[in-house]
Amino acid sequence: MAMLEIEDLHVAFPKGKKAEVEALRGVNLKLEKGERLGVVGESGAGKSMLAFSILNLIAEPGRVSQGSVVFHGENLLELSERDIRGIRGNRISMIFQDPMVTLNPVLTIGTQMVETLKAHRKISDAAARKLCIAKLKEVAIPSAESRLGAYPHELSGGLRQRVVIAIALLTDPELIIADEPTTALDVTIQAEIMALILKLCREKDVALILITHDLGIVAEVTERIMIMYAGLCVETGPTHQIIQAPHHPYSAGLLKALPQFAGRGTRLYQIPGSMPPITALPPGCAYHPRCERATELCKAQIPPLEHGHACFHPIDQTEAAS
Amino acid sequence: MISLKGFITRFLSDPVAIVAGTVLLFLVLMAIFAPFLAPQNPYDLMQLDIMDSEMPPSWRVGGDERFPLGTDAQGRGVLSTIMYGTGISLLIGVGAVIVQGVLGVTLGLVAGYRGGWIDAFLMRLADIQMSLSTLMIAIIVLALFQAAFDANTYADYAIFMLIVIIGVAEWPKFARTVRSSVLGEKNKEYVDAARVIGLPPRRIMWKHILPNTLTPVLVISTIQVAEAIMTEAALSFLGLGMPTDRPSLGSLIRSGFEFIFSGSWWITLYPAIVLVMLILALNLLGDWLRDVLNPKLRRGDD
Amino acid sequence: MHILAFLLRRSVQAVIVMFVISLIGFSIQDNLGDPLRELVGQSVSEQERDLMREEMGLNDPFFVQYFRFLGNAVQGDLGTSYFFKRPALEVIMDKFPATFELVLGAVFIFLSLSIPAGIYCAIHRDSWITRFIMSASIVGISVPVFLTAIGMVWLFGVELGWLPAFGRGDTLELPWGWETGLLTWEGLSHLILPSVTLSSIMLPLFIRLIRAEMMETMSTDYVRFAKAKGLSTSRVRYVHAFRNTLLPVVTVGGLMIGTLIAYTILTETVFQWPGMGFLFLEAVNRVDTPLIIAYIIVVGLIFVVVNTLVDFLYTLINPMVKLPGAKS
In a domain, B6, yes or no: no
User: What DSSP string runs through C238-256?
Assistant: IIIIHHHHHHHHHHHHHHT
What percent of chain A shows pLDDT beyond 70?
97
In a domain, B69, yes or no: no
- Count other C-beta atoms under 10 Å from residue B72's C-beta: 27
What is the chain C residue with the closest CA to B224?
C142
Residue B124 has pLDDT above 50, yes or no: yes
3-state class of B71 per DSSP? strand
What value does the mean pLDDT of chain B take? 80
* More confident position, C12 or A179: A179
Residue C80 has pLDDT above 80, yes or no: no
In a domain, B54, yes or no: no
Residue C328 has pLDDT above 50, yes or no: no
CB contact under 8 A, C266 and B237: yes
Each residue of C216-250: pLDDT tens digit?
888 888 899 999 998 888 888 888 888 888 888 88
Q: What angle do CA C104, C106, C108 make, to 5 degrees?
A: 70
- Count other C-beta atoms under 10 Å from residue C34's C-beta: 12
Question: Chains that contact A by 3+ CB pairs under 8 Å?
Answer: C
Interval B220-239 mean pLDDT: 90
Question: Chains that contact B by 3+ CB pairs under 8 Å?
Answer: C
Residue B64 has pLDDT above 80, yes or no: no
CA nearest C277: which of C256, C255, C299? C299
In the chain, the amino acid numbered B106 is T
Residue C50 has pLDDT above 90, yes or no: no
Contact present, A151 and A104 (Cβ < 8 Å): no
Phi and psi, residue A307, nearest 5°? 55, 30
CB contact under 8 A, B253 and C292: no
DSSP 8-state secondary structure symbol assigned to residue C159 = I
In the chain, the amino acid numbered B232 is E
Residue B47 has pLDDT above 80, yes or no: no
What pLDDT, on the 0 to 100 scale, is given for residue C81? Answer: 77
Side-chain-side CA neighbours of residue B245 (13 Å): 10
What pLDDT, on the 0 to 100 scale, is given for residue C287? Answer: 79
- pLDDT-derived band at C41, boundaries 50, 70, 90: low
For residue B215, what are the domain limits? Answer: 16-35+76-294
- Does any CB of chain B come closer than 8 Å to the CB of residue C16? no
Residue B13 has pLDDT above 50, yes or no: yes
CA nearest C275: which of C196, C201, C195? C195
Which domains are present in chain A?
4-91+171-321 (3.40.50.300), 103-170 (no CATH)
Closest approach of C243 to chain A, Cα-based (Å): 7
Exposed/middle/buried for residue C254 (C-beta within 10 Å: 0-12, 13-18, 19+): middle
Please report residues of B whose CB lies closer than 8 A to that of C150.
Answer: 253, 257, 260, 268, 272
Q: Where are the alpha helices (DSSP H) in B67-115?
A: 78-114
- pLDDT-derived band at B300, boundaries 50, 70, 90: very low
Contact present, A179 and C228 (Cβ < 8 Å): no
DSSP 8-state secondary structure symbol assigned to residue A310 = -
Contact present, C192 and C297 (Cβ < 8 Å): no
C97 cis-preceded (ω within 30 degrees of 0): no
B186: domain CATH number is 1.10.3720.10
Residue A310 has pLDDT above 90, yes or no: no
Exposed/middle/buried for residue C53 (C-beta within 10 Å: 0-12, 13-18, 19+): middle
What pLDDT, on the 0 to 100 scale, is given for residue C316? Answer: 80
Residue C29 has pLDDT above 60, yes or no: yes
Closest approach of C284 to chain B, Cα-based (Å): 6
Give pTM, 2 decimals. 0.79
What pLDDT, on the 0 to 100 scale, is given for residue C310? Answer: 86
What pLDDT, on the 0 to 100 scale, is given for residue B283? Answer: 87
Adjacent-strand bridge partners of C179 = C173
In a domain, B10, yes or no: no
Predicted-assembly ipTM surpassing the 0.90 threshold: no
* Element of type H or E holding C1: none
Each residue of A27-61: pLDDT tens digit?
998 999 889 999 998 887 888 889 999 998 888 78
What value does the mean pLDDT of chain A take? 87
Q: How far apart are CA C253 and CA C86, in angstroms?
A: 36
What pLDDT, on the 0 to 100 scale, is given for residue B95? Answer: 92
- Torsion sign over Cα C118, C124, C125, C131: negative
What pLDDT, on the 0 to 100 scale, is given for residue C325? Answer: 32
Q: Where are the alpha helices (DSSP H) in C175-288?
A: 185-218, 221-228, 233-234, 242-255, 257-271, 276-286
* More confident position, B41 or A51: A51
What percent of chain A shows pLDDT beyond 90?
21
Phi and psi, residue B245, nearest 5°? -90, -10
DSSP 8-state secondary structure symbol assigned to residue A279 = G
Residue B151 has pLDDT above 70, yes or no: no
Each residue of B251-263: pLDDT tens digit?
888 888 877 777 7
Each residue of A207-228: pLDDT tens digit?
999 998 888 888 888 999 999 9
Q: Which long-range contacts (CB under 8 A, 24 or more apart) does A248-251 make?
A: A248/A287, A248/A309, A248/A310, A248/A311, A248/A314, A248/A315, A249/A287, A249/A291, A249/A292, A249/A293, A249/A311, A249/A313, A249/A314, A249/A315, A250/A287, A250/A290, A250/A291, A251/A227, A251/A309
Closest approach of C289 to chain A, Cα-based (Å): 49
In the chain, the amino acid numbered B215 is T
C196-217: b (≥16 Cβ within 10 Å) or e: bbbbbbbbbbbbbbbbebbbeb
What is the chain A residue with the closest CA to C245?
A106
In a domain, B66, yes or no: no
- pLDDT-derived band at B219, boundaries 50, 70, 90: confident
Residue B82 has pLDDT above 70, yes or no: yes
Residue A155 has pLDDT above 50, yes or no: yes
Q: How far apart are CA B31 and CA B88, in angstroms?
A: 8
In a domain, B50, yes or no: no
- Does any CB of chain A come closer than 8 Å to the CB of residue C240? yes
Say how many Å lie between the first and final Cα of chain A, rounded: 39
- Torsion sign over Cα C222, C228, C233, C239: negative
Closest approach of A91 to chain C, Cα-based (Å): 10
Phi and psi, residue B80, nearest 5°? -65, -45
**Number of domain units in chain B:** 1
Nearest CB to C229 within list A108, A153, A167:
A167
In a domain, B274, yes or no: yes
Please report residues of B whose CB lies closer than 8 A to that of C263.
Answer: 135
- pLDDT-derived band at A319, boundaries 50, 70, 90: low
Compute chain C's Rg from CA coordinates.
Answer: 24
Each residue of B190-199: pLDDT tens digit?
777 777 777 7
In a domain, B157, yes or no: yes
In the chain, the amino acid numbered C176 is W
What percent of chain B shows pLDDT beyond 90?
11
Across A111-125, B173-187, C177-191, least confident range: C177-191
Residue A274 has pLDDT above 60, yes or no: yes
DSSP 8-state secondary structure symbol assigned to residue B296 = G
Contact present, A299 and A284 (Cβ < 8 Å): yes
Compute chain A's Rg from CA coordinates.
Answer: 21
* More confident position, B49 or C249: C249
What pLDDT, on the 0 to 100 scale, is given for residue A92? Answer: 92
Interval C55-82 mean pLDDT: 72
Q: What angle do CA C177, C180, C181 make, to 5 degrees?
A: 160
Task: Choose, out of B23, B128, B136, the residue to mutate when testing the contact with C (most C CBs < 10 Å).
Answer: B136
Please report residues of C whose CB lies closer than 8 A to that of A87.
Answer: 230
CB contact under 8 A, A107 and C320: no
Each residue of A181-199: pLDDT tens digit?
888 888 888 888 888 889 9
Adjacent-strand bridge partners of A11 = A24, A64
Question: Chains that contact C by 3+ CB pairs under 8 Å?
Answer: A, B
The answer for residues whose C-beta is within 8 angstroms of residue B186's C-beta and 6 or more apart is: B112, B113, B209
- pLDDT-derived band at B98, boundaries 50, 70, 90: very high
Closest approach of C296 to chain B, Cα-based (Å): 8
Exposed/middle/buried for residue C132 (C-beta within 10 Å: 0-12, 13-18, 19+): exposed
- Does any CB of chain C come closer than 8 Å to the CB of residue A186? no
Q: How far apart are CA C271 and CA C43, in angstroms?
A: 40
Interval A238-249 mean pLDDT: 88
* Element of type H or E holding A193: helix A187-204
What's the longest Cα–Cα distance across chain A?
67
Each residue of B163-212: pLDDT tens digit?
999 999 999 989 888 888 888 777 777 777 777 777 776 676 667 667 67
C155-189: b (≥16 Cβ within 10 Å) or e: ebbeeeeebbbeebeebeeeeeeebbbeeeeebee
- pLDDT-derived band at C57, boundaries 50, 70, 90: low
Residue B116 has pLDDT above 80, yes or no: yes
* More confident position, B300 or B196: B196
Each residue of C264-273: pLDDT tens digit?
998 898 888 8
CB contact under 8 A, A57 and C222: no
Side-chain-side CA neighbours of residue C206 (13 Å): 25
Interval A142-147 mean pLDDT: 86
Closest approach of A166 to chain C, Cα-based (Å): 12
